[in-house]
A = this chain, B = another copy of it.
Amino acid sequence: MIYVALISYTPDPERTIAAAARVSTSSARASQLMEKLAPQAVDRLLGLLISSGHLSPFEHASFTFAIEGISRVTSHQLVRHRMASYTQQSQRYVSLKDFHYITPATISAKGELEAEYHQMVRAAHALYLKMLDAGIPMEDARYVLPQAAETRLVMTMNARELIHVCSLRLCLRAQWEIVELFEKVKAEVEKVAPRLAAELKPKCYRLGYCDEAESCGIFPTLAEVGEKTQRKR
């Protein structure tokens, strides 16, 4: 069961983004803009930035999440996003005596296999404990642990990267576990920055078509829609 909690974030994140953006094109002071910008002006400005692809001001708002209950399969995918900061529980320094792991729904759905899966994962963990007792270092004993093993981490991402990562990881071509993770990330952002959260969506919503080889069905592929538009000259 994935657990995501927003433990810290830039206060008033949408106004911070809007104020920074206005500094670029006005002669007003940033500190004044922070005070004066009305909520409607913030909303409108964020909309303009998004539609014109001017995303750099979104970097000024950061969000820090506590994430628990994801597998090492998913944490390995997650940390490939390099424009973010991660501090992950170490399997070298924390022993996994109290063991939790993820079971994919496709396995749960097959009664007999599911039983074998649980049995195998538990046997691997039992051997892990036995190796620790025999003096094998934690960092080595863990080689026997399945990739299903749960991990936890703290992740900080700015709003620009959240928009980018969600465009990839809320796509149904991504693996179910990381989709679920970012649905929960989005739900947390929604509580404090609803305008921003509305931009956390799969890439097809922005493109107007699916750029994968096969569509999940929400949007047609580019091949299906024909040429995007005609050049004027």
Contact A152 B30 (CB under 8 A): yes
Query: A175-B139, A229-B220 are known contacts. Are A120 and B121 too (CB-CB below 8 A)?
Result: no
The range of chain A's interface size is: 35 or more
Q: How far is the CA of A106 from the CA of B131 in the complex (A)?
A: 10
Total copies of this chain within the assembly: 4
Contact A117 B127 (CB under 8 A): yes
Please name all residues of chain B whose beta carbon is closer than 8 Å to the beta carbon of A80 when the two chains form the complex.
79, 86
Q: How far is the CA of A160 from the CA of B141 in the complex (A)?
A: 33
Contact B24 A93 (CB under 8 A): yes
* Smallest CB separation, A175 vs chain B (Å): 5
Contact B56 A85 (CB under 8 A): yes
List the 10 shortest-distance A-B pairs measured between CB atoms, nearest first.
Answer: A208-B228, A30-B66, A59-B85, A104-B140, A82-B82, A143-B148, A20-B154, A20-B87, A62-B62, A25-B93
CB-based nearest B residue for A116? B127
CB-based nearest B residue for A154? B20
- 4 further A-B contacts with Cβ under 8 Å, apart from A20-B154, A29-B152, A56-B87, are A29-B68, A52-B211, A60-B87, A220-B232
Please name all residues of chain B whose beta carbon is closer than 8 Å to the beta carbon of A64 when the two chains form the complex.
10, 16, 20, 60
Please tell me if A198 contacts chain B, counting CB pairs below 8 Å. Answer: no
Please name all residues of chain B whose beta carbon is closer than 8 Å to the beta carbon of A213 when the two chains form the complex.
52
Q: How far is the CA of A39 from the CA of B201 in the complex (A)?
A: 37
Please tell me if A191 contacts chain B, counting CB pairs below 8 Å. Answer: no
Render A24-60 as a binary contact track against B, CB cut-off 8 A, 1 for contact. Answer: 1111011100100000000000000001110011011
Question: Which of B31, B89, B217, B218 contacts A66, CB < 8 Å?
Answer: B31
Query: A21-B87, A86-B80, A88-B24 are known contacts. Are A53 and B136 too (CB-CB below 8 A)?
Result: no
Render A201-233 as a binary contact track against B, CB cut-off 8 A, 1 for contact. Answer: 001000111011101011110100101111111
* Smallest CB separation, A29 vs chain B (Å): 7
